[in-house]
Structure 1
Amino acid sequence: MAAVVLLCLALTACGGNASGNGSDGRPVVLTTFTVLADVARNVAGDKLQVESITKAGAEIHGYEPTPGDIRKAAQADLILDNGLNLEAWFGQFVEGLDVPHAVVSEGVEVMSIAEDSYQGKPNPHAWMSPVNVQIYVDNMVKAFSELDPQNAAAFEANGKAYKAKLQAVQDQMKAKLAAVPKNQRALVTCEGAFSYLTRDAGLDEVYIWAVNAEQQATPQQITEAIGYVRANKVPAVFCESTVSDAPMRQVVEATGAKFGGVLYVDSLSETDGPVPTYLDLIRHDSQLITAALSGAGS
C-alpha cells in the first residue's frame, strides 16, 4: 500500500484538487463505500459530486485500493470514511494525500464486539441503525458546509428532510420486526454486522464470525452456530451479500433451519437490484428477517 501511495505521489503530484471542481464543475466528495455515497448524495443534493471508492457488491473490510483509487482520491475535495476500524486500509490510503476527510460516525454511541479476536473493539456497522445514520447526516452537513459555505443552507435543509425519512424507516423497521414471535427473536448471520439493528429491534444476535476481515469460518465457529440454532429452534438463518454463504449452508444442512435469504450490510446493490439505496437496504433486510423468522419466508 505504501508503495502504491508513493507511486501516486510521484506520478500525479497528489494533493488537494487545485480547481476544487469535478468534471461537471462541482466539488468532489469521495466516500469509502456505496452506503455512505448514497447518504451523502441525499445531503449534498445537486451541489456536490459524490462518488464511492468501492463499487456495488464490494467487501469493504479487506478492500485493496488500486492506483486508480488513489489518483481519484488525490483529485477529490473531501473524503468521507465510516471510521470505527471499518476501513482497515484507510490510514495508508490517505497517507501523503493533502485532502481533508471527515469521519461520519463521530458521535455515535458505539457498541463493542463481544467475542473473537476483535473482542472489545468497536463494532463498525453503526449505519445499520437509521438513528445512527441521522448522526452521520449531521456530520456530513457540517463537513459539506465547511467545504462549500455558500450552499450551507441547502445542505442543512437536505439533511433535515433526509433525517425525517430515516426516522420513518426506523419506525417501520421496528414495527415489522415487532411481529416476530418472542420465541423466534434471534438473528443468526454469517458476520456480526447486525448489533445495532438487533439492539434497536429487540432481537438476539448470533453470528459465525465477528468481522468479515476473517471470513474463513472455522469448524468450531460453525459447530457453535449449529448448537445455538438447534438449542433455540431458530427457524431461519441468513448471510450477507458480500461473502460466501457456504458456511451458513452447513448450518442449514445440520439443523433443518431454512436459509432465510441474503441480507445487505456493507454494500448496496446495482441500481436495478433489490437495494439501490440505503433506505431500500433497511426496508429489504427488515422485511426478509420478519418473513423468515415468522415462518412466512420461502
Structure 2
Amino acid sequence: MPKNPRIAVASLAAGAVLLSGCSGPDAAEDDGRPLVLTTFTVLADIAQNVAGEHLRVESITKPGAEIHGYEPTPGDIRDAADADLILDNGLNLEVWFRQFVETIDVPHVVVSNDVDVIDITGDAYAGTPNPHAWMSPANAQLYVDSMATAFADLDPEHADDYAANADAYKADLQQVQDDLVAALADLPEHQRALVTCEGAFSYLARDAGLTEAYIWPVNAEQQATPQQIAQVIEFVDDNDVPAVFCESTVSDKPMQQVVEATDAEFGGVLYVDSLSEADGPVPTYLDLIRHDADTIVAGLTG
C-alpha cells in the first residue's frame, strides 16, 4: 500500500547527524546464540516468548519510546549489522526502518504479513494501513506464528521448541481475547465504543465488537485541532459513551477537554507502542494487553 507523506519521519542520515552522541540499544554480551533484533519492545517480548532460551532477542528502541518518530542512531546500525535476523512490524509503522535495513545485509521478516489489514480512515490517509495490528490479541497470534516459522528457518535444530513455545503463548493470548469479549457482552449496543487519543485500537475494537473513535489518526499528528475535539465530543454525546481513554506516550489534555464537555469519565491510560521498564506497569506484552483490556472493560462497564 502507498506510504502517506504525513507519516514519514526524518531520514536515517538526519538521525545519524542529530543523534551521533547516543548509543544504540543495550546489547547483552554475545553468548554464542543467534541474535534476533526487533524494531520495538513489544515485538521483542513476543519474540522472546517464542524463542525461549535458544535465541538472544533485543529491541532497537528502548522501553517507553515513541516508535512512530524514532530516529535510528549509528549505534543501532552497528547492532543491526551483527544480527542474524531482524523482525519488524511493517504496515508503515517503522518508516525509518526502510532506509535502516537497506544499509545492512541481514535477513528480516515482517511479522504482520498475515494480518487482515484495516486502513486508516480519512481522505489524507487513503490506502494507508493502520499499523497497530498487535493491539488485537487475535492478531498477535499471527505474529507469533510468523516468528516461530522464522526462528525454525534460522535454527532448525530447535524448531519443535519454537512451535511448542508458540502454542503455549498463543493460548495465553486467546484467553485475553476471550475474557475481553465476554466482559463486554452485556454492554448496550450504543455504548459499545472505544474513544482514544490516537486511532491505535482499530484491530482491538474490531475483534471485540466495539466502534472506534479517536482525536487524531496517528501520533505523528498529536496536535489536536478544535474540529477533531468537537467531533469526538459529538460522538461521545450521541452514543452516551461512559468513558474515554488516552495513550501513555502522549498528553491527555485534548481528551480531558472531551471529558469536561461531556458526561464521560476519563477511563485511564492505555499502552500501545512500547513496554515499560521491568518495574513499571507493563513490562511484558501480556501485561500490556491485559492492562488495556481490563482498563477498557472497567471504564465502559463501570
1:115 paired to 2:122: yes
Quick one: which of 70, 78, 83 aligns to 1:76?
83
Q: Find the aligned partners of 1:188 and 1:129 in 2 and give their Cα distance.
A: 16
Partner of residue 224, structure 2: 217
Partner of residue 289, structure 1: 296
Q: Find the aligned partners of 1:68 and 1:24 in 2 and give their Cα distance.
A: 20
Quick one: which of 257, 261, 264 aligns to 1:257?
264
Q: Find the aligned partners of 1:254 and 1:285 in 2 and give their Cα distance.
A: 24
1:3 paired to 2:10: no
Spell out the pairing of 1:28-67 with structure 2 (5 A cutoff): 28-67=35-74
1:276 paired to 2:286: no
Letter in 1 for 2:116: E
After superposition, the C-alpha distances for 1:82-120 in whole angstroms (9 at most, x for unaligned) are 001111111011121011110000111111112252233
Task: Tell whether the 8 Å contact from 1:260 to 1:289 is kept in structure 2 after alignment.
Answer: yes
Q: Find the aligned partners of 2:187 and 2:295 in 1 and give their Cα distance.
A: 11
Q: Find the aligned partners of 1:90 and 1:238 in 2 and give their Cα distance.
A: 29
Relative distance call for 1:6 and 1:120 in structure 2 (3 A) is closer
Partner of residue 17, structure 1: none
Quick one: which of 173, 176, 187 aligns to 1:169?
176
Query: Which segment drifts farther, 222-231 or 27-36?
Result: 222-231
- Tell me the CA shift for residue 177 of structure 1: 2.4
2:95 is paired with a residue whose SS is coil
Task: Tell whether the 8 Å contact from 1:191 to 1:240 is kept in structure 2 after alignment.
Answer: yes
After superposition, the C-alpha distances for 1:94-147 in whole angstroms (9 at most, x for unaligned) are 121011110000111111112252233111111111111111111111111111
1:259 is paired with a residue whose SS is strand
Relative distance call for 1:45 and 1:209 in structure 2 (3 A) is same
After superposition, the C-alpha distances for 1:13-70 in whole angstroms (9 at most, x for unaligned) are xxxxxxxx96122111111111111110010000000011111111111111122112
* Superposition CA RMSD, Å: 1.8
- Tell me the CA shift for residue 207 of structure 1: 0.3
1:238 is paired with a residue whose SS is strand
1:89 is paired with a residue whose SS is helix
After superposition, the C-alpha distances for 1:171-208 in whole angstroms (9 at most, x for unaligned) are 11211222433332111100111111111111110000
Task: Tell whether the 8 Å contact from 2:36 to 2:84 is kept in structure 1 after alignment.
Answer: yes
Q: Find the aligned partners of 1:203 and 1:293 in 2 and give their Cα distance.
A: 11
Q: Find the aligned partners of 2:104 and 2:46 in 1 and give their Cα distance.
A: 24
Partner of residue 185, structure 1: 192
Letter in 2 for 1:86: L
Task: For structure 2, list consecutive stretches of 5 or more residues without a partner in the other structure.
Answer: 1-10, 18-27
Letter in 1 for 2:206: R
Q: Find the aligned partners of 2:270 and 2:186 in 1 and give their Cα distance.
A: 19
Relative distance call for 1:2 and 1:120 in structure 2 (3 A) is closer
Partner of residue 98, structure 1: 105
Q: Find the aligned partners of 1:286 and 1:49 in 2 and give their Cα distance.
A: 30
Task: Tell whether the 8 Å contact from 2:277 to 2:283 is kept in structure 1 after alignment.
Answer: yes
Task: Tell whether the 8 Å contact from 2:12 to 2:71 is kept in structure 1 after alignment.
Answer: no
Partner of residue 152, structure 1: 159
Work out the number of aligned pairs and report it: 282
Partner of residue 10, structure 1: none
Q: Find the aligned partners of 1:178 and 1:269 in 2 and give their Cα distance.
A: 30
Partner of residue 238, structure 1: 245
Question: Identity of paired residues, percent?
Answer: 71
Q: Find the aligned partners of 2:229 and 2:14 in 1 and give their Cα distance.
A: 37
Relative distance call for 1:184 and 1:251 in structure 2 (3 A) is same
Letter in 2 for 1:198: A
Quick one: which of 201, 204, 207 aligns to 2:208?
201
Which of structure 1's runs of 4+ aligned residues deviate more than 6 A?
A: 4-7
